[in-house]
Each structure stands twice: as structure tokens, then as C-alpha cells.
Structure 1
């Protein structure tokens, strides 16, 4: 289709009636979306709104269940990101896909190296890379190692690598999450300049309204997989987006109201001014017998905080005390020895060993209790684990591989391991992610039993309803910073919680 016969209405990358479900859960419900050449389109919505899924479909990483995609009026269907890129559609994710140990030139030509006589032509690659860097105003050398660059420059390397592959439409996932205000402003200004000069259609997925709206031409808001509105950006756009995202929902928890009046219990863990590359001066106090929630948008630092407490991420500054004593774990084994247990968000990747049974996974961190003269008494260990799994109503063959269990039962196995560890402080990252309603109810009961036994539970969750249902207090994280005072869950609505994270 030539430029002469493509109408202005048809121009652009268009999605129509996109639907997508996972395990019978609808994530996108008939979404329409379009990005035009030379324009920047902001895509907004709270956690779970469907933004990431829509972007993956547009970039070829997922296929829709129904709906249609078209470029300049011509129908198109992608089976992979590589196929999408061959048609001029590229995506730069929050986690950059570059190799720190390689040079800038090598990263720019990753997977498409220039060859001469069957050998890689480093001289031509460096020369072409330097021309690209100069053209786009990136003040680095082609021979610099990527690991020595600033984060904004690394992002621009990935952007121009895609542009050099003739990308006409570029999707950027939370591009300013790890940047300071000045860095974010500089990066977005570059993106705007490129969009205008090269007639590139850009989609920005972001939670940072003030930063992103300044460069956007259009804005779309998703809520629960539906498009709430799409409009040109103007003076009232920010308020409209806030009104859509915050909503008017209200929720009260009688349990939280009862607990909110009593914070005189002994502190299980106290954090003061904790800092590292992802967190800035975070302070928090959690009591024994209390459920403390942590809420924040993607990239807010909520998971990084749990990882730092468990020794998975470093702590550069600040002070942590457990039971009034100084605490700092440099690795998970130290955290466990100090009385901290951790449930990862990614259970299949980091939570269990797939080749082991449910019974073996339960006792994995407490085998020393069942050892005698250096030998593990497997019968005793498995008997204890089996009794615990039965008490937790785990259905299935617990002596077979854990991968044979449902997602909800796999998660309950990980909770059984936490109970076995008998920790004073329990860190839970998205504890009900990917489980059904019945399993979710069981997990809530397990969490409540943990605090009734005198433990302290700190919960990270993207589900506002969940935090309001089970927590006593909630801390809100934003851009690596935690608001100083916790919010009493009994006094909160979903709208108020979202407003605290977005404001």
C-alpha cells in the first residue's frame, strides 16, 4: 500500500477489539488502541489493568485470543517479537536486553553482526555505531563498555539499536523508572525529538504522569482490561486519568479496625533510612502479631525492599533492628538464621525445586532439624511435612513432583516451608499471585494464623482489595521512597490507596 493511497485515518499501528485471557481470567476485554507516526501515545492504568499484556501483543510477544492488528490499514499478525521487528515494530522493556560486558558497538549489532570474508568486521561495526551515536546525540564512544554507561544512555543504546533495524513503532515499558527527575526529562526529550524527526510512533507505558504527559500527544487509560478513554493530551488530562484510576470504591476491614487501635506490641523489625541503588531512606516499623502491607506501582521499590531485608539485595546505608538488636543479612542464609522467612513472587522460578516432591520442598530449609550424626532422617522429615501439608488441606500426590500440583497447592507448599522455619518475621511477595479463589481464602487463613502465633508478616501485593482485607497497616512506596507514616487499613478505601501511590 503506497503512501499516496493510505488515508490519514488508516495511518498508524492499530489494534481493534483485542481480547486475551489466561486460565479463564480475562485480562483484555475488547480493547481498541492506535499509535500514529510521529506521535507519542501514553498508556496508563493501575496494576493489573492490562497494559503490559496489550504491549506484549502489539510487540509480538503474545498472541490475542481475538481481535485484529493492522499497520497503515493492512492486516497483520505476529508470531514472535522477531517477526514484529521485521515489520518495524519494536519494544524496549524495563529490564534492558543488553550485555554489560560487551562494547556499545557490539550491543548495537547484537545478533546482526557485520561480517567480511566470513569474519566479524569490528572496524565497520565500530564506525557505523559511532555514526549512530553522533546522529542521535549520545555522548559515548562505540568502544566504551556498556557497563560503564549511565542508565539513560543504556536505554538509548537499545532504542537506537531498534531504530537502526528500521523500527517505525516503538514501545517503551516504564522507561523512567530507574531515573532521577533530570535524567527522565532528558531521556523523554530525546524520545520526543526522535519521534518528530524520524516519524516514529512511540507508546510510553508509565505510572509517572507528570513526567510522561509533557511529551505525549495522546493518552489512553485501561481499567480491568477495558479502555476507559482515549483523548488528546490537554490541561485536564492528568485529572481525568487520576479520576479513572482512583475511582470511588470503598472497603473497610473490621479486623483492621480492631487492630489499628493497638500498636503498643513489641517491634519485630525496625528499619531506619535504608538505602541502596533502588531505595532511598526507607523507614518502617512492624510489630509482632501484625500484618503490615506494602503497596506501590511497578518499579516503586516494594519488592526490592523485601529482597534487601532477606539479603538478596545489598544495603548501602541505614539501620535495621530485629527485636531491638542490629541486623544486616548479606545473604539469605544469614536472614534465615536471624529469623526471617521469605516467599518470592516468582514461585516457579525461585520458590521451589521442580524435580523434588512437595514433601522434599517443605523441609528443604530445615533438613538440619532432622539430621543425626550428619545423616538426614528422611522418614522423620517427611512425616512432619506430610502432617503439615494435610493440615493445610493440600490435595494431590505430595510425594510426587511438586510440578504436578495446582498453582494454589504449590503456593501452600511454600507456606508450609515458612511455617517449618518458625521465623519471627515473614516476608510475602504477592502471596496469592496466580491462585484460584478457594486457594486464596486458604492462604489468607494461613497468614492470619501466622500472626495469631505471634509472628510479624510483611506483605507486598498489587491487589488493593487484598491489602485492605488482611492488613493492619499499609506503607506506600513510590520511586524507591516510602511515605513516613503507615496508613491504617480500617480508614482506607481503594481509591485513597491508589491516590497515595499515584499522587
Structure 2
């Protein structure tokens, strides 16, 4: 699709700084009417800031925005929504305890004689979802629906506002292949109805499957705008990173020469309906990959090991000793750390600084008579900023302003600053760009070489195969395969997922 002379959206010369640090410098973005447009760049490239300026969450320092033929300067996201721009964020901004229908029409409920017309709300919600091939009781609480349905509810809400442009920020990060195909069908339907879509994703195959044009950002600037079909994947990644790919090639982790004793042993573990019969062992200084399809019980097993979920039966051993965990505090006391796949709700505290987030677990040891030693906090933070290469303007910068990859490094540093022996990582590279992924994976391998035991859960099989000493595969809550040595390959992992 060739952009015509009057695009739906034109952002030109956009500048934005936070605390004197420039995050956008002359950035631009143009989207045609009824076009599916890709936006890509490393975390920290400025994508999210550009979107927040467009939707009124941030004000711009300089530049112009023209939407649907008119100059605009939205003061708040609700103004952007009323103006024809709807945004679906990676972490869905929905109300779990309200019904599906209430979420679709929240704040815009049709009324009759001054009273909300619930019959119409429910009927319109059903019609919208059925147009996407989704049949669900719209009166049920949203939290009782799976992630894919919640994603469609967010899209239905966007469509119900008569949006001309729908922004989708990493919409497939929690969907399986069949659900992704359904989403792509919805995107194509939106396009056929004349609605433009801005598709933000780090998954290159998805971009090529659904997008016509692409904008690439790097270091707060727009560095490329072109037809996606004319951009091969290698050139696209090189443009995004501004360097050769040599540092990004997955280095096959060939295994430890002299494995130590088991740091963790799990035997026949059962928990609820998700973990049925799981067994594995992680040795000292080893990276164990944990693979499985969505719903296989990977996350639930990690939560059991960390004491966050109840163990119904089976054995859990740390350093050869059977333990019974009353909660995460017991696991932490035994040197176990856990990074959840959900940074936003179970990791960072957005409004606190890098310093406060990084030293959170250390606070009891940094306080005397109830007063925290600020100098000690800062010293520890600066040490880990340097060691992990955390990119921030200062230790006092709010963590919410950091890219996803740098937020993940802060969370890693939070645990590394304590005396841990076993690190549980659930999707440690989820939602971060290729460059940051390479940095995180390299850091994990360095930690293992220093003697730390690591259990890694990852949906990206290429990453898991490249970085694991062994891989255990779960299916329906059961351990069905263990791969080691030359048997570690993507094809063998997929066969185990499918057939055990």
C-alpha cells in the first residue's frame, strides 16, 4: 500500500525530554487511511513515548500532529478516544471484576430515560464480539475469561468508539498461534472497514504477516519509513539496531563441564488443576530451560517452587533437603528468587525510583531504628547500574520511564543484591527488543558461570535452546521429556510438547 498525499495521521518533528534527557528528537510517523502500519524499535527507542504524545498522555516539547486532516493536541487519552484514536496496551487496561459488556461500554453506556439500558449494552457487546468470531456470555466477569477473549474485549471496546485508528501495543504477547490467527482476522476486518491499525510488535514474522508499511525508530529518532515488503528481515534488524548482528547471534550454551549437586529437586509435584505430576532438578551453576505450551503449568510450577502457590502433593527439595514452604518469604530465606512474567503488576513499583525498586528486598538490612541508609542504597544502586548496564538518567529516575529491558535489569539487580542461589525466571525477555534480549540472555549465562542455578521459562524456543544446559518439557501439568546435549533442538522440544 502506498501512502497517499493526505495520510490519516502525520506526526512531524516530535521532540520530548524528561529531566533534561531527550527521549524523542525530531521523530515522525505517518499512517495511511485503512492501513496496517508497523512500528518497531529497541526498548528505549521512543515508540511508547511517541504513542503517549499522540494519545494525550504526554505533551510534546516541539513538533506537529495532524489527524484526519486537522491539527490536534490531545490533552488526555479520553480526548484522543473521542477524537477517533483508541489504544490497546500490552498490559490490558480493563476492569477484571466488571462484566465483559461493562468493559466494552465503560463510561459510554447507552441510556434510556436517564437510566443505563443494560439490554442494549449486552446486545451491542454480543454483536461486536460475534463479528470477531467470539461467542461468550457478556454478563460474566471479565476475569473469568481467558487472555485471548480479554484481548478481543479490548478490541471491541476500541471499535465501539468509532475509532479511525486503533493502536495495538504487543497484542500477541500472551496469545497462542490459533489466537494470533484470530486476531489477525480481526485486524484484516478492521482494515476492510477503513480503520487504520498501528501494530507495535517485536515479532518480525507477525509484522510481515499483517502489515503493509513500517516505521523504524532508534535512539528517539525515526530512522526508516518504507513498504515492509521491500525490507528483508536482516536489513530490518540491522536498521533497528544500527549495528551488525554479530553480537545478537544466539550462542549455544554447551552445558557445564562439571555439574554441581542439585540445588533444586522437584518430585511428582501436584498443585491444583494446572500441575499434575511435575519432576525436575536444577544443578549448581546450571541453566535449566522449562518449556511447554500455554496452559502446560510452567508458571504454576515456578510459583510452587517460590512458595506463591500451594503444593498439594509431591516433594520439593532445596540442596537435598525436603522443604515445605508457607509462602514466598520462606523461599527467599532459602535463597530462592523469582521474576514474574508480569513486570508491571508483580515486579516494578512504577512511581518509585530505580534506587527504591532495586533495593526493595534489602530494606530490612539497610534500615536502622526505622531509618533507611540513603547513602548505602545509592551506592548499591550505582554498583548494579554499572554491572548490568542499566540505562537511566540517574538512580532517582522513576522506573516507569525506563524501557522494558532496563526495568527487567533493575528487577534482576534487586535479587542479585541479596544472597540468592536459585533464580526462577518466567519469560525474562517477554516484550523487550532483540538487543535487550541478547543482553539479558548473556547476563543469565554469566550468572550461571558464577555458580548461580537458574530455571528459565520461555515461549521463544530459539532462546531456550540457545541458552539452556538441559530442557524439561511440560505438557498438561506433567513432565514429559528431558533433553540434553545434542538432543536439545527446537524440533525435539516441539515434538515433546505435542506428543510427550
Same fold (TM over 0.5): yes
Aligned partner (choices 449, 467, 485) of residue 486 of structure 1: 467
- 1:299-338 alignment, distance < 5 Å: 310-312=306-308, 321-325=317-321, 329=325, 331-338=327-334
C-alpha distance 175-313 of structure 1, shift in aligned 2 (>3 A): farther
Alignment of 1:1-400 (within 5 A): 8-197=4-193, 199-234=194-229, 236-245=231-240, 247-248=243-244, 264-269=259-264, 285=282, 287=284, 310-312=306-308, 321-325=317-321, 329=325, 331-341=327-337, 348=349, 362-363=363-364, 382=368, 389=373, 394-395=374-375
Shift of 1:55: 2.1
* Distance in 2 between residues matched to 1:325 and 1:385, nearest whole Å: 37
C-alpha contact 2:21 2:393 (8 A) present in aligned 1: no
31-40 or 19-28: which moved more? 19-28
SS of the aligned residue for 2:66 comes to strand
Structure 2 equivalent of residue 436 of structure 1: 394
- Contact 2:165 2:196 (8 Å CA) reproduced: yes
Counterpart Cα distance in 2 of 1:147 and 1:445:
32
- Shift in Å, 1:435: 6.2
Take 2:180 and 2:423, find their aligned partners in 1: how far apart are those partners? 35
**Per the alignment, in what secondary structure is the counterpart of residue 18 of structure 1?**
strand
Q: CA deviation at 1:52?
A: 2.1
SS state at 2:184 partner: helix
What is the aligned partner in structure 1 of residue 487 from structure 2? none
Shift in Å at residue 285 of structure 1?
4.3
Query: Which structure's CA Rg is the greater one?
Result: 1
Q: TM-score w.r.t. structure 1 length?
A: 0.65
Question: SS at the partner of 1:234?
Answer: helix
Report the secondary structure of 1:112's partner residue.
coil
Q: How many residues align?
A: 417
Taking a change above 3 Å as real, the CA distance of residues 9 and 124 of structure 1, as seen in their structure-2 partners, is same
* Cα distance in 1 for residues equivalent to 2:70 and 2:369: 63
Task: State the Cα deviation string for residues 8-43 of structure 1 (Å, max 9, x = none).
Answer: 412211111222233333332322111111110111
> Given that residues 185 and 211 in structure 1 are in contact (C-alpha distance below 8 angstroms), is that contact kept between their aligned partners in structure 2?
no
CA shift for structure 1 position 363: 1.8
Give the TM-score, by structure 2 length. Answer: 0.65
Are 1:359 and 1:382, in contact at CA under 8 Å, matched by a contact in 2?
Answer: no
Aligned ranges for residues 492-503 of structure 1 at < 5 Å?
none
CA RMSD of superposed structures (Å):
5.2
Q: Secondary structure at the match of 1:100?
A: coil
SS of residue paired to 2:217:
strand
Classify 1:106/1:14 alpha carbon distance in 2 versus 1 (closer, same or farther; 3 Å). same
For 1:82-114, what per-residue CA distance to the aligned partner results, in whole angstroms no more than 9, with x for missing partners? 011111011011222223333332222211222
CA distance in structure 1 between the aligned counterparts of 2:167 and 2:57, rounded to whole angstroms:
12
Distance 1:129 1:88, change over 3 A: same
Cα distance in 2 for residues equivalent to 1:168 and 1:119: 29
Relative distance call for 1:455 and 1:101 in structure 2 (3 A) is closer
Q: Provide the C-alpha distance between the structure 2 equivalents of 1:450 and 1:116, rounded to a whole number of angstroms.
A: 59
